[in-house]
């Protein structure tokens, strides 16, 4: 769905799926407040209204993260009285029409800013060679506007306050954004939750670890519930120089790495819905990990136990 920095899938399918899922996307009622003066923040995007009717976001800040990735922060129209309305692991659709084009280009992106962040929405955007959407996104400067739609619903996670559980999150390259968003939701949304998260992230080299600071912050805050393993495939990378041998592995996210993660799982393997592994990455990687002859199938996991973004 939204790997986002930008995944190169046909977005019309994602949009259609989102519309079909309207009946399944139910907002929680606002909690009862003793302070009558309190006012819940409004939402910039509300499914399905803003899937049909677009909104305009103005660029607040642009940060070059590495050679091909930018962090782009947008002001929300309602300022500090507004939140994006994009739930964890969900995506927005960016829209622009290139000069001379008849039809707009739509691409899904999962925000890296928290769902309840007031006033702003932040995207992490990787530029792809000849990528129409990502090239346009990288051309944006503070003050520019971007047309957006959504949100496209992601995975609705249910906390486990009564029973210890473990899940495995696997990302490849730019597919980290929905995975990171989900990991943060699992760890921070409910202080009673006893679900532990293992993240396996395949990257080419150290410069591609674009969310390392954010992941380190989660590890520091939840040392008993969150661990990260980086699979670094670049031939010229000396993984021993990057950090501990437990955290940095040479190669790809393969059967050995996944088997080790499963062996470390404590409590019940899988969340309340029975989902054990969450995956987002390039098509070739997803096929190698979760295809009919992939690693997870070899290890006995059923299709219904795997969620692919």
Binding residue positions: 107-109, 124, 126, 134, 177
Residue 18 has φ and ψ, to the nearest 5°, of -65, -40
Count of helices and strands (H, E) across the chain: 8, 15
Burial letters 78-99, b for 16+ CB under 10 A, else e: eeeebbbbbbbbbbbbbbbeee
Structure tokens at 18: 């989102």
Q: Does residue 89 come out as left (phi exceeding 0), alpha (psi in the -120 to 50 range) or beta? A: left
- Residues constituting the chain: 309
3-state secondary structure (DSSP) of residue 177: helix
Nearest Cα to 193, choosing from 171, 165, 220, 221? 165
Q: How far is it, in rounded angstroms, from Cα 73 to Cα 215? A: 19
Residue 169 has φ and ψ, to the nearest 5°, of -110, 130
By the 8 A CB rule, do 225 and 196 touch? yes
Bind-site residues for FAD: 107-109, 124, 126, 134, 177
Establish how many alpha carbons lie within 13 A of residue 205's alpha carbon, considering only the half-sphere containing its beta carbon: 9
Q: How far is it, in rounded angstroms, from Cα 71 to Cα 64? A: 6
User: How many CB atoms lie under 10 A from the CB of residue 31?
Assistant: 7
Q: Does residue 255 come out as left (phi exceeding 0), alpha (psi in the -120 to 50 range) or beta? A: alpha
């Amino acid at each position: 769905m939204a790997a986002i920095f930008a995944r190169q899938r046909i977005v019309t399918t994602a949009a259609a799926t989102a519309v079909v899922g309207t009946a399944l996307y139910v907002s929680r009622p606002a909690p009862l407040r003793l302070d009558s003066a309190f006012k819940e923040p409004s939402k910039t995007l509300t499914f399905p209204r803003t899937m049909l009717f677009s909104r305009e976001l103005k660029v607040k800040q642009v940060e070059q993260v590495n050679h091909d990735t930018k962090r782009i922060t947008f002001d929300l129209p309602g300022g500090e009285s507004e939140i994006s309305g994009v739930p964890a692991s969900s995506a927005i659709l960016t829209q622009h029409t290139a000069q001379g084009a008849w039809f707009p280009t739509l691409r899904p992106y999962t925000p890296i800013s928290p769902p309840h962040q007031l006033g702003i929405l932040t995207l992490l955007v990787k530029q792809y060679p000849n990528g129409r959407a990502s090239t346009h996104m990288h051309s944006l400067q503070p003050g520019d506007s971007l047309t957006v739609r959504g949100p496209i619903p992601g995975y609705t996670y249910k906390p486990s306050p009564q029973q210890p559980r473990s899940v495995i999150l696997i990302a490849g390259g730019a597919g980290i954004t929905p995975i990171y968003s989900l990991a943060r939701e699992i760890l921070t949304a409910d202080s009673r939750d006893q679900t532990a998260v293992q993240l396996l992230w395949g990257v080419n080299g150290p410069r591609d670890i674009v969310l390392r600071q954010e992941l380190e912050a989660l590890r520091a805050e939840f040392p008993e519930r969150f661990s990260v393993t980086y699979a670094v495939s670049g031939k010229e990378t000396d993984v021993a120089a990057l950090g501990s041998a437990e955290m940095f592995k040479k190669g790809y996210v393969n059967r050995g790495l996944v088997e080790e993660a499963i062996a470390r799982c404590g409590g019940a393997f899988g969340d309340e819905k029975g989902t054990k592994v969450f995956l987002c990455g390039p098509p070739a990687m997803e096929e190698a990990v979760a295809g009919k002859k992939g690693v997870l199938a070899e290890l006995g996991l059923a299709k219904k136990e795997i969620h692919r973004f």
